[in-house]
Amino acid sequence: MHQLSEHDKAVLNSIFNPLTPLGEGVFSEETNTDDETENSKEDVLIPEIAEIHKRAIRETETGNHDEALRLFAEALKKSANSATLLNDRAQCLRLAGLDEDAMKDLNLAVELSNGQGRAGIRALCQRGILLRKNNKLDEARRDFSEAAKSGSKFAKSQLVELNPYAAMCNQMLREITTKLSNP
């Protein structure tokens, strides 16, 4: 990407991020990484719990939610205050269609982490998604805003999508561009 001009980067950004206002968040190698992983305070899992956690994630990925939830429960018995475990179990619960239980885990994960560190930021984003799904847009914006302040690019993109003016401007721009390219 070193040979691309700033204009080329802006064009690529508008293609890959159509909901972002023009000129914002221009793609570059410097901005292509999530800042959320820097300076994060992670809860470190002891090897035994980390292994159970990995198995639970594998079971979640294969769609075996019952076994995954059993494994998450086993890990949480040994590390009840782990925002990481709670956030990941919430993901499994969401995939299993248990949004209310997922929200409880996410609330606790955010509380335990103070919305900081990788697990806290991801819990804020995941909770924001659930809130958005339930049409609680002000609460979703608040969670995405907190996560965005900590460097989450996903949260920033969600804030743009929740901004009706940015979405309207981008829609108009796409229509104009389409009309100009197809006279």
Quote the tokens at residue 25: 């968040």
Give the 3-state secondary structure of residue 113: helix
Residue 181 is assigned to a structural domain of this protein: no
Amino acid at 38: E
Question: What is the domain count for the chain?
Answer: 1
Q: Compute, in degrees rounded to 10, the torsion defined by CA atoms 68, 74, 78, 83.
A: 30
Residue 149 is assigned to a structural domain of this protein: yes
pLDDT tens digits, residue range 11-34? Answer: 555 555 554 444 444 443 333 334
Share of the chain above pLDDT 90, in %: 52
pLDDT at 105 over 70: yes
Alpha-carbon distance of 121 to 176, in angstroms, equals: 37
CATH number of the domain enclosing 71: 1.25.40.10
Residue 55 is assigned to a structural domain of this protein: yes
Per-residue pLDDT at 40 = 44
pLDDT tens digits, residue range 131-157? Answer: 999 999 999 999 999 999 988 898 888
**Buried-state track 48-75, b at ≥16 Cβ within 10 A, e below 16:** ebeebbebbbebbeeeebeebbebbeeb
Share of the chain above pLDDT 70, in %: 74
Cα 58 to the chain's mean position, in Å? 20
The range of the structural domain enclosing residue 119 comes to 45-162
By CB atoms closer than 10 A (0-12, 13-18, 19+), residue 115 is buried
Residue 96 is assigned to a structural domain of this protein: yes
Average pLDDT score over the chain: 80
Is residue 130 within 8 A of residue 146, CB to CB? The reply is no
Residue 107 is assigned to a structural domain of this protein: yes
Sign of CA dihedral 159, 161, 164, 167: positive
Per-residue pLDDT at 104 = 97
The answer to pTM > 0.75 is: no
Residue 102 is assigned to a structural domain of this protein: yes
